[in-house]
Amino acid sequence: MELTKTPLIEAEQIRARVRALAQEIEADYAGAPLVLLTVLKGSLHFASDLQRAMSECLELHLEFIRARSYDGTASTGTVELLYTPEVGFTGRHVLVLEDILDTGRTATSILAHVRAQQPATLRLATLLDKPARRVVPIEADYVGFRIDDHFVVGYGLDLNERYRHLPAIHCLV
């Protein structure tokens, strides 16, 4: 498989969209302390850029969770939570940051894990959404870009751990 020469989404488009999402999220939470739960590894650049686009007066707690469901370009159908934070989410506003909503299994499993701890509110932000691939019914509260059913890499997304460092999002063909 090869990278398409022209990115599907250019770095500058990502930057602008992530900044807009940060403003929308800030306005919705109206200054309340917020736990940003980053799903590793794919969301690392999304989370990092989103956090740094938020106001310095916000009280943000940065937490991380590690999930795995993919083997190559195929979803395995089972989700492993490999690392879960030790802090509790009870009574806190939690926003989960995903790289991409595909079948929906990963996000569903992470949301269930957090929901079991009774957070004050629980929402989902995803940089990319591939609605055509959904197996489990789930919608994100914040979506960066809706894309067609392509396998994409870059800006955190990988194929067997490759391409995560690319600044733009490319299709693999």
Residues with a known catalytic role: 102
Report 81-110 residues binding ligand IMP (CB under 6 A).
98-107
How far is residue 27's CA from residue 17's CA, in Å, rounded to a whole number?
15
Q: Are strands 142-146 and 60-71 parallel, antiparallel or unpaired?
A: unpaired
Which range, of 16-24, 57-65, 84-92, 146-154, touches ligand IMP by CB under 6 A? 146-154
Distance (Å) of CA 169 to CA 11, 23, 92, 119: 8, 22, 33, 33
- Least separation in angstroms between residue 42's CB and Mg ion is 5
Instruction: Decide if residue 38 touches ligand IMP (CB under 6 A).
Output: no
Instruction: Decide if residue 154 touches ligand IMP (CB under 6 A).
Output: no
Q: Are strands 121-129 and 142-146 parallel, antiparallel or unpaired?
A: parallel
Q: Which residues contact 134 (CB under 8 A, 6 or more apart)?
A: 101, 102, 103, 104
By CB neighbour count within 10 A (0-12 exposed, 13-18 middle, 19+ buried), where does 116 fall? Answer: exposed
Of residues 22 and 124, the one with the C-beta less far from ligand IMP: 124
Report 104-123 residues binding Mg ion (CB under 5 A).
none
Of residues 8 and 54, the one with the C-beta less far from ligand IMP: 8
How far is residue 2's CA from residue 64's CA, in Å, rounded to a whole number?
31
Residue 101 partner contact from ligand IMP, Mg ion, none using kind-dependent CB cut-offs of 5 to 8 Å: ligand IMP
- Least separation in angstroms between residue 152's CB and ligand IMP is 4
Residues interacting with ligand IMP, by CB under 6 A? 42, 69-70, 75, 98-107, 151-153, 157
Residues that bind Mg ion (CB under 5 A): 42, 70
